[in-house]
């Protein structure tokens, strides 16, 4: 029985990946680092900002990571007003809220960016708890962020359902012992299923609470 639902943010609650890609490309170019579209795909894999920065720049000091991260976040701030929610997600959040099922957000993003987006889209009140990349030492695919979210919801891992859009996020949820449903287009759906997602939805328009529960029963 599902007693709590945990959402990733980027690509699951908020259609933010196009903005992220633009901002990261702009930031990297400002540092003399040109990147291909294939290299930018690493950014979509749910990693912590420090890991992304070291992936592109090598062995940065903690101070450099902080400075670069702050600079990138300032650039992203220009994009926040243009962000849209993933289709159907607010309806599902409303449905979960009305049934009393507690909801958590578990995002690898920085606390400042995550809360800024939630406040901008007026979504903060849906979530009983919010766990960000700043709250865990190791990012996805390590399960720490999902275990922390479940603990703060006061539920067991096996009672939790995660929505994810990245391979590392699905792997993290499965490593935590949680059920996981993917959100992705058909180009990325196969990779999520191979990572352990039990089902993959294009968005939440055809993912009501009843449909989700039916899908999970079919899996068992």
Alpha-carbon gap, residue 161 to 173, rounded angstroms: 9
- The CATH topology of domain 4-16+84-219 is Rossmann fold (3.40.50)
pLDDT at 210: 83
Per-residue model confidence as pLDDT tens digits over 62-107: 999 999 999 998 898 888 888 999 999 999 999 999 999 999 999 9
DSSP conformation class of 86: P
pLDDT at 219: 65
Phi, psi for residue 14 in degrees, rounded to 5 = -120, 135
pTM passes above 0.75: yes
> Which is more confidently placed, 220 or 14?
14
Q: Give the pLDDT band (50/70/90) at residue 212.
A: confident
Max distance between CA atoms of the chain, in angstroms, equals: 51
Per-residue model confidence as pLDDT tens digits over 15-49: 998 898 899 999 999 999 988 888 888 888 878 88
Q: Where are the domains of the chain?
A: 4-16+84-219, 17-81
Alpha-carbon gap, residue 119 to 138, rounded angstroms: 26
Q: What is the gyration radius of the CA atoms in the chain, in angstroms?
A: 17
Place of tokens 């990779």: 191
Alpha-carbon gap, residue 89 to 177, rounded angstroms: 24
Is 220's pLDDT higher than 70? no
> Does residue 83 contact residue 121 with C-beta atoms inside 8 Å?
yes
Q: Which residues of 147-173 are buried (b: 16+ CB within 10 A; e: fewer)?
A: bbbbebbebebeebbbbbbbbbbbbbb
pLDDT at 94: 95
Per-residue model confidence as pLDDT tens digits over 141-200: 999 999 999 999 999 999 999 999 999 999 999 999 999 999 999 889 999 999 999 999
- List the CATH code of the domain at 17-81: 1.10.150.240
Is 119's pLDDT higher than 70? yes
């Amino acid at each position: 029985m599902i007693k709590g639902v945990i959402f990733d943010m980027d690509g699951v609650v908020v259609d933010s990946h196009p903005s992220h890609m633009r901002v990261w490309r702009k930031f990297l170019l400002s540092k003399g680092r040109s990147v291909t579209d294939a290299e930018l795909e690493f950014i979509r894999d749910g990693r912590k900002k420090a890991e992304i920065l070291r992936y592109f720049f090598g062995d940065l000091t903690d101070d450099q990571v902080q400075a670069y991260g702050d600079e990138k976040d300032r650039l992203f701030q220009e994009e926040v007003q243009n962000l849209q929610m993933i289709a159907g997600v607010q309806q599902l959040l409303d449905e979960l809220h009305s049934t009393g099922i507690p909801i958590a957000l578990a995002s690898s993003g920085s606390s400042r960016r995550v809360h800024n987006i939630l406040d901008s889209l007026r979504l903060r009140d849906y979530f009983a708890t919010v766990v960000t990349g700043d709250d865990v030492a190791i990012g996805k695919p390590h399960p720490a962020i999902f275990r922390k979210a479940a603990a703060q919801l006061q539920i067991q891992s096996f009672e939790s359902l995660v929505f994810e859009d990245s391979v590392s996020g699905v792997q993290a949820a499965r490593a935590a012992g949680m059920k996981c449903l993917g959100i992705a287009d058909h180009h990325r759906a196969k990779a999520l299923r191979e990572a352990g997602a039990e089902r993959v939805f294009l968005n939440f328009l055809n993912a009501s609470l009843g449909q989700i529960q039916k899908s999970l029963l079919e899996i068992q």
